[in-house]
Structure 1
């Protein structure tokens, strides 16, 4: 049997590795089936079929991989056969189709039964034997997607063994260095934003919270759904992981996984990536200290906006001592700017702006 799955998000690369969600659990798919957690064997080996399952008709397989499962989905971690023409061609097609690419898998039913789900008569798939996963033209799945295809550079810089149970996997996108205000970005997300929309903006979702709610997400760094990744936000996020705002509340694997996500955007922009400190409160290099200050200032701006909005609602103004502090901070930032205002630094800054503009426009 074949089950077709839709919705992909691809990351351009040249190594031939692919990571794709090929099944989601506890949802009714277009075939009227509900795949239950435990239906797939975690770690089971599978083949990647040639396009449209044609390996069943004699075409050579184009890759192989293993199945990884979470409590919500099944994931193919695969490798295309890049030393074969069929493997390279299929991988290139998958890469070029990008977000429109759909996937399907071929399987035997080991255990299933008829039942009810959300008021519908369905077939409950309890245990499956998956033989292959294939890119196809039309799919039937719910919330499935290609997570990533990895380049050699990414494989060298990002540890593939990192746990992504709560952090969102690294991906490739356009980047920018323009002004960043995370609170504004999140506030502007529509009230009916989907889980995919929210995941597209953030680097972490709290597994203990409702993933349909904005409050479940942390480390925003994209300018809206489909927007560029902001390099300032990525640096702020890494500074937070290093303790700029105190205890971040993440486990060590989650902290590393969020770091990998944010670091990947900096790597793609050929920017230096601050080190992830072994412990909070460690000594900082100069550029790490600057990022730390930027993170604290970002937090202060967000807090100031909240305080001022609250005081205005009560017909009050910000207290004079607080206004003095903000004025002094502003004066100190102007002093920093004056340190950069030399002919040589002006030239460097203009060159940096030129590079940033090209990164933003993709030219």
Structure 2
């Protein structure tokens, strides 16, 4: 489930009916998305969720409504459940905040059809067709030029795909070394969601958008920094070996995000497998190994730091295994530095060497 924002202004405090523009077509919103005309189903029914989309977590819906669209914008016409305490209280809260100019709304949707491209010189995601499930009062929305048209009164009620694929954006691309944990640690803990979205490719819709741990597939050198070729290749390898940790429905979107940066750098883009796992080509296996080694180095740094806090060093067995891995990586380095000739190792020999290193990694 993804979400977009709209700004609400209550104009009539008597009725619990609302009419609001919740999407403006052909503009770039704060998520770097563009919604074209016709993206919504005219006349489609939707719910009004409890505050902050919490009806996805079991809170009772507070109203219902219908979607209408013109050639320029999408409009929500809704009715709060004024005959229930939760519906009436939700409307009164929205009214008070709207009177103060503080209330915004968001709509929860599934991107049925989307694509990536350029709009006004920027890289964006085009939301070509959307399935809207609910609208919800929120603290901060993402829409552009959205507003309430009227609020009137009438006198004296899905399975969730929880993830958001973030749209790619224009940036420099570098192939220098990549340290994912160091990069994440370098991003300020108080970074805003708009800043965090410039460093990652996916965010957990159930997580706090203000917290770095809600984001995955880091591939930029800090907020607004250049994208990293190695990080993008490792990200695609994670998508192909079932270690991405995101819903299957979001794999393609994350893949397209990472692939866009690789194309900008004129780097050959590995394919996305229909399903994670299965056999890998030589280059794909190499990317998977790179991702595994990078993740294991991060994990080793964490373990060593924790043991150091307790006044301990690495356990002897673990130290031995790390030494063995280092030895094999040294053998790989010697293969790469060997002069070309009749004794040059074959792809199969190099692949076999890497596979043994990975097997040792997995055995720790």
Please tell me the TM-score bracket, short chain as reference: 0.5 to 0.7
| Of 248, 267, 271, the match for 2:244 | 248
DSSP 3-state at the match of 1:267 = helix
Equivalent residue runs for 1:334-353 within 5 Å: 334-342=330-338
* Distance apart, 1:344 and its partner CA: 6.3
Segments of 5+ residues of structure 1 without an aligned counterpart are 1-20, 29-35, 49-63, 73-104, 127-146, 346-363
Contact 1:203 1:218 (C-alpha < 8 Å) held by counterparts = yes
Distance across 1 between alignment mates of 2:126 and 2:73:
30
Residues 186-236 of structure 1: CA deviation (Å, up to 9, x unaligned): 111112101111111100000011101111100101000111101110111
Q: How many pairs does the alignment contain?
A: 242
**What is the TM-score of this pair, normalised by structure 1?**
0.56
Residues 330-362 of structure 1: CA deviation (Å, up to 9, x unaligned): 2212222222225669xxxxxxxxxxxxxxxxx
C-alpha RMSD over aligned residues: 4.3
Contact 1:203 1:258 (C-alpha < 8 Å) held by counterparts = yes
| Of 307, 311, 325, the match for 2:307 | 311
Q: Which runs of 4+ in 1 moved over 4 A?
A: 67-72, 105-114, 123-126, 158-165, 342-345
| Of 279, 284, 297, the match for 1:283 | 279
Distance across 2 between alignment mates of 1:169 and 1:267:
15
Equivalent residue runs for 1:49-88 within 5 Å: 65-66=36-37
DSSP 3-state at the match of 1:209 = coil
> Which residue in 1 is equivalent to 2:142?
none
Segments of 5+ residues of structure 2 without an aligned counterpart are 10-16, 28-34, 41-45, 53-71, 80-90, 106-115, 131-161, 342-364
DSSP 3-state at the match of 1:66 = coil
DSSP 3-state at the match of 1:39 = strand
Distance across 1 between alignment mates of 2:226 and 2:26:
35
**What is the TM-score of this pair, normalised by structure 2?**
0.56
* Larger radius of gyration between Structure 1 and Structure 2: 2
Is 1:24 equivalent to 2:5 in the alignment? yes
Contact 1:168 1:199 (C-alpha < 8 Å) held by counterparts = yes
> Which residue in 1 is equivalent to 2:68?
none
> Which residue in 1 is equivalent to 2:20?
39
Distance across 2 between alignment mates of 1:305 and 1:332:
20
